[in-house]
């Protein structure tokens, strides 16, 4: 989209945004706002005030211009003086002249509390918090519409980018066979050393490198994927890379949001998470009738990118495998730069990067100036991210989030809040088991203590009553 043509209709206006949660995503939003004359981010809320202060410092805001405030009156005065406010009092932000609230705490319950308060205060809500969005995004979107404000995912995060890509393809007249994300962690093949390694991204910096020494019999399976032996090669690649982590619940969380927003579905609950070179994606993630592995079209999936040291990767970007109904149009996309499968019947369109908060200002400006979301026009809870026990669990244990290695995530059809139904993954986080759970069992409502007061759970129950 050529955004500036739309922003020009709002000349002289400025969007003021407040950010809740100052991790690396929120910090990048602040830094980029300083490069945009139409966007101002003068207030940060975080339980850790030093983290909020550091975010402003990374944006090269002088220390003397940063002020800690505990009340809305103090903050309003500081903002009028052109100062930058940090606070641990999140709710006071709702009383300030802020157009857009950016929720980026990463805590599902906090996101529900802050998101609902922002909407009720008549502020546009940019939901970086995928943990909340995966559970109650549809009801928050509906409540925002009732209030006349915008609820939107954010540019820079994979699910938000994937929504835009899929909507563009459909508006163009392309059929989306499969769409998804590539993992931030890529498998790197060193031909000389005969190794396969993964560099796991623990945030901004690489936190862990794990290497597998390849045997002679492994090498052919890391080379080019042959058309008639795909299943054999894909299976062997996963066996070879068994010590290298595959996709986790945090990967599936983004994909369940995208699936619900654009009407895609999982091919298998755990995602296929095939280990693929970029040119292999359209050969594998298409329907069986076209030489791929999928039973049908309209699939959401995750890919682990396989590459050599000298090759470009996917950067945790997003992709689509598409098809044109007309063979002439299909010929155009398969000969004008799009990688295709062996018979040219489907093609790959991909974006080999996602820039997190660096590219987020477009969403804040679209919400604040144009009052439009940068995500999908559709918002239903067709699917849930749920958790099964990956080891035996005991009554009394506290469950973790989607990084908890005792749990294994799946995407399955959504269900209502009820005893025997599975609990959405981020409604489980921090909850106590009330009975033992065997490895392989799915965590259901009857297995955990329901919180006495939870905005997240209350919103989910209200969402269950929504009409389609």
The tens digit of pLDDT for each residue in 198-257 reads 976 544 444 568 999 999 999 999 999 998 899 999 999 999 999 998 999 999 999 999
Q: What is the CATH number of the domain that holds 127?
A: 3.40.50.720
What span, in angstroms and rounded, lies between the C-alpha atoms of 321 and 339? Answer: 10
Residues 75 and 180 in one domain: no
Same domain, 284 and 324: yes
CA–CA gap between residue 379 and residue 138 (Å, rounded): 5
Q: What pLDDT is stored for residue 424 in this prediction? A: 98
Say how far apart CA 269 and CA 407 lie, in whole Å. 14
Residue 141 sits in the same domain as residue 170: no
Q: Which domain holds residue 186?
A: 162-354
Positions in the chain short of pLDDT 50: 202-206
Distance between CA 155 and CA 438 in Å, rounded? 40
Q: Which residues on neighbouring strands pair with residue 323, listed in sequence order?
A: 175
Question: Within a domain: residue 230?
Answer: yes
State whether 151 and 180 are in the same domain. Answer: no
Same-domain check for residues 247 and 309: yes
Same domain, 410 and 451: yes
Residues 289 and 190 in one domain: yes
Q: Are residues 139 and 172 in the same domain?
A: no
- Name the token pair of 187: 């498998």
In a domain, 377, yes or no: no
Helices and strands (H and E) in the chain: how many: 15, 18
Assigned domain for 375 exists: no
Domain count, the chain: 3
User: 19-47 pLDDT, tens per residue?
Assistant: 999 998 999 999 999 999 999 999 999 99
Give the model confidence (pLDDT) of 332-381 as tens digits. 999 999 999 999 999 999 999 999 999 999 999 999 999 999 998 888 99
Of the candidates 370, 404, 428, which is a domain's last residue? Answer: 370
User: Are 220 and 346 part of one and the same domain?
Assistant: yes
CA distance 409 to 407: 7
């Amino acid at each position: 989209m050529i955004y500036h043509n739309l922003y020009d209709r709002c000349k002289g206006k400025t969007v003021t945004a407040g950010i809740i949660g100052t991790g690396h995503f929120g910090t990048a939003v602040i830094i980029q706002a300083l490069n945009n004359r139409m966007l101002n981010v003068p207030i940060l809320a975080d339980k850790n005030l030093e983290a909020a202060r550091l975010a402003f410092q990374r944006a090269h805001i002088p220390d003397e211009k940063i002020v800690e405030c505990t009340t809305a009156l103090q903050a309003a005065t500081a903002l009028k003086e052109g100062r930058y406010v940090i606070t641990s009092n999140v709710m006071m932000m709702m009383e300030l002249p802020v157009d857009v609230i950016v929720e980026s705490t990463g805590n599902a319950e906090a996101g529900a509390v802050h998101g609902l308060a922002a909407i009720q205060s008549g502020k546009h809500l940019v939901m970086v918090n995928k943990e909340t969005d995966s559970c109650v995004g549809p009801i928050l979107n509906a409540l925002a519409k009732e209030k006349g404000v915008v609820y939107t995912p954010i540019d820079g995060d994979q699910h938000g980018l994937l929504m835009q890509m899929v909507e563009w393809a459909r508006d163009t007249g392309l059929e989306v066979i499969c769409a998804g994300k590539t993992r931030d962690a890529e498998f790197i093949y060193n031909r000389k050393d005969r190794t396969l390694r993964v560099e796991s991204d623990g945030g901004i910096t690489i936190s862990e490198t794990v290497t597998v020494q390849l045997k002679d019999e492994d090498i052919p399976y890391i080379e080019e994927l042959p058309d008639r032996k795909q299943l054999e090669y894909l299976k062997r690649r996963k066996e070879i890379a068994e010590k290298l982590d595959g996709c986790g619940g945090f990967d599936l969380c983004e994909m369940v949001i995208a699936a619900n927003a654009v009407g895609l579905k999982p091919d298998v609950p755990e995602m296929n998470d095939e280990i693929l070179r970029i040119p292999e994606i359209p050969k594998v993630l298409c329907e069986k009738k076209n030489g791929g592995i999928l039973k049908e079209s309209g699939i959401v999936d995750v890919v682990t990118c396989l590459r050599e040291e000298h090759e470009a990767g996917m950067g945790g970007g997003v992709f689509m495998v598409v098809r044109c109904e007309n063979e002439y149009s299909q010929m155009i996309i398969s000969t004008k730069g799009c990688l295709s499968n062996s018979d040219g019947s489907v093609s790959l369109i991909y974006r080999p990067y996602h820039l997190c908060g660096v590219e987020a200002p477009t969403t804040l400006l679209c919400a604040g100036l144009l009052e439009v979301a940068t995500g999908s026009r559709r918002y239903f809870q067709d699917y849930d991210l749920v958790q099964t026990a990956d080891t035996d669990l005991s009554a009394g244990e506290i469950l973790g989030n989607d990084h908890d290695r005792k749990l294994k995530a799946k995407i399955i059809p959504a269900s209502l809040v009820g005893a025997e139904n599975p609990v959405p993954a981020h409604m489980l986080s921090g909850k106590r088991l009330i009975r033992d759970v065997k490895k392989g069992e799915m965590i259901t409502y009857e297995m955990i203590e329901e919180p006495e007061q939870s905005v997240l759970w209350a919103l989910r129950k209200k969402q269950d009553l929504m009409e389609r």
